[in-house]
Structure formats: C-alpha cells, structure tokens
Amino acid sequence: MQKAAEEQRYEEAALLRDRMIAIENISQKQKVSNINSNDIDVIGIARNELYVCVEVFFVRGSKMIGREHFFLNELRDMTNKEIISGFIKQYYVGNMNIPSKIMIEEEIEDEEVLSHILSEEAEKKVEIKSPKRGEKLRFVEMAKNNAKVTLENNSQDKYEILSELKQILSLDKFPNKIETFDISNISGTNIVAGMCVMQDGKINKSLSRRFKVKTVFAQDDPRCMEEVIERRLRHSIDSTKSGFGKLPDLIFVDGGITQIRAAKEACRKCNVEIPIYGMVKNDKHRTRALIDEERKEIPLSENAMNLITRFQDTVHDTAIEYHRKLRDKEMSKSRLDDIEGIGEKKKELLLKKFGSTEKIKNASIEELEEIKGINADLAKRIKENLE
C-alpha cells in the first residue's frame, strides 16, 4: 500500500488499504473470543497534527458486539493520558452502560478516583486496567491500531492539503487555524466585512464573524480590511477566551496586493507576525490563485485549490449577506418610520405580514386594515408615503 501511494497509484493504494481494514476486522472478531471477562470496554487512541481519534471496542460475553470512534480537536497540548482521563469522565459518567472493566494503553494518574466514581455510578465494581501482556494487551493494541486507521482515513485529504500549504508557503508551523476576510459595500454605504475560519482543514461556519466598519466612511477596501483585521486580532490579544479564540496561523484576504499590505499593517499595529496571502479571482469571478505580497502566484494542487475556492466563496457569502441585511433594515426603517402613526409595533406587524416595504406598498387598503391598530385613514397614509 505504501509503495503504491509513493508511486502515485492512489486507487490501488486505497484498494489495498480497504483490504487491510477488512482483514483487521476479521482478526478482531477471532481474537476477542480469547478474552474471558464478560463485560469489557477497550479504549485505543491515535493522534496527528489535526485530530485525536479515540476508538472504543465493546466486549460482552467474550464477543465484540460493536465499536465507536470519536474525533477530538484542540487537544494538541494534552498528553495521551490526559486525553484518556478526560474521555472516560465525559463518556462514562451518566452512561447507562458502564462495563465492569475498562482497558486502556497506559495507567492514568486518577485511575483509582475514576474507578470509585464509576463504581458508585454503576452500583457495581468498575476497574480501569492497563494490561502489560497476553491477549488483553494485544486487544488494547488492536484498538489503538484501529484508531490509527480510522484517523488516517478521516483526515488524509485534509492533512495532505494543510501539509501542502505548510510546505509551499514555507510556513514555520502547521496551519491548523486559517482565517479569511472579505469586505462588502456598495458605493461606500453600509460597509461590512465577513470573517470565516478553517479549523484543522475544515471550514467551520459556526466560527464565522461579521463586522460593521467603524472608521472608514468611503469606498476604500484596503483601509476597511486593515481596520477589521486589527479589531479581530485585538480580540485574541486581549483574551484567548473570547469568542475568537487563539490567533490564526495563517490569514487569507479576498483581494490582491493592496489588501495583503493592509492586513500586514494591521498585524504590525498589533505586534504579531502572521503569514498573509491574497485570494484572487479570474474574469469569471472564480478563484484563480493565491498570491503573495510580490504578486507571485502560488501553484497548488487541485484539492487545495478547490478547498480555497470554497473558503473564498464562504467568506464572500458571509459578507454580502450581512451587507444585504443592513441595507434592507435601513430601507425599511427610512420609509416606514417616517410615517405618522407607525411605531415599532405596527412596523413589526406590517413587515411580519407582508415581508418588505415593496409588498406593503402594493397591498390594498383592505389588506392593510387587517393589521391590528391600522384603520382606513392610516392605511391610506401608508400607501401615499410609500408611493
């Protein structure tokens, strides 16, 4: 399998990998019969620069009846012992199916305390053991190997893309956290920015953020970019416990050389050094390349380019949706709030029923009168003011 991968015969390598997994699964079912205990969970752990994978085998009545795996991230500063200890606390406390024995690779410091807590929870004796020899040790090693295979299958593409970025951009460290920024405005009005985050090779939309530009009042995207990135960086500098978390390992900006230089100036003001590259588009408004401060285009694989394209599209959508929301809010406010007799409550009821000021304008007098508190005179006034 390794030889096929090195020679770029990827389909053959994948087939061999699948055969290997199938053989391991057969071996697991054969070997489990050698474990005499009736009620055992076996925990294996594997990790790389992206994730930690915890694999749990369930052995009941000398037979493996199932397994589960869990992917964990943001645990790079923790040891395997700390991860296993934390996993046991989170997984088994409150679990209705606590086994009599939990087998792990190596002893953990709070083994006795956890055994006592789980014994009370299960109302039976629960042991946490790290076997040193025999079939039980081999079974723990099998769980560990299975976790490794599961981890490799899950994160191979992402790991390869991030490794590629690290190498081709000459980064000092693995780019586990990448952030990208885009500015959106029309003729300098309602200037906003979107920020999106790629965490461990996956675009995490829950970490997206939106900014209203505060210090720039004309169409000047580079100055807007500088302001927004400086504000974002200061959130993490002031407190890593803020909603922004740690500083990014790498920043992409939507745009070319001027946006790159603006982002670098923001980093200089915050006294941080973060690699910055621009994402530029072609004439058809599709992502063409990454560029550096010297306008040099960075050659990337198709997989990496596809991921960056999705990243750029995501941040663009985040920014433009926020801009539209503010623009629509401003339009509805400026037209309805100037009508005598329309307060916040009536405005809310009107927009809830009709959806927009345009539909309110096109509604009949009778339809407007259906709104609580709006009589014929006020309905006519609404129509006149919206014409």
In DSSP notation, 165-205 reads HHHHTT-SS---EEEEEEEEEETTEEEEEEEEEEETTEEEE
Give the pLDDT of residue 82: 93
Do the domains spanning 2-168 and 337-386 agree at the CATH topology level?
A: no
Cβ–Cβ < 8 Å for 335, 386: yes
- Of 231, 228, 182, 179, the C-alpha closest to 207 is 179
If you ran DSSP here, which 8-state letter would residue 246 be given? S
Instruction: With both helix axes pointing from N to C terminus, report the angle between 134-168 and 10-31 in degrees, rounded to the nearest 10.
Output: 160
| Domain 177-329 annotated CATH 3.30.420.340 | yes
Give the pLDDT of residue 385: 86
User: Where in the chain are the domains?
Assistant: 2-168, 177-329, 337-386
Give the pLDDT of residue 130: 92
Q: What is the pLDDT along the chain (387 residues), one digit of tens a residue?
A: 888 877 777 778 888 887 887 776 665 554 554 555 578 999 999 987 777 899 999 888 777 888 888 888 767 778 999 999 999 999 998 888 899 999 999 999 889 999 999 999 888 999 999 998 887 888 899 899 999 888 877 666 677 888 899 999 999 999 999 999 999 887 667 789 999 999 888 888 889 999 999 998 888 999 999 999 999 999 999 987 788 999 999 999 999 999 999 999 999 999 999 999 999 988 877 888 899 999 999 988 888 888 899 899 999 889 988 878 877 776 556 577 778 888 888 888 887 888 777 888 889 999 999 998 999 999 889 888 887
Give the pLDDT of residue 25: 65
- Token readout for 87 is 């996993």
pTM score above 0.75:
no
| Burial (0-12, 13-18, 19+ Cβ within 10 Å), 271 | exposed
Give the pLDDT of residue 28: 54
Give the pLDDT of residue 259: 96
Domain 337-386, second-level architecture: Orthogonal Bundle (1.10)
CATH topology of domain 2-168: Nucleotidyltransferase; domain 5 (3.30.420)
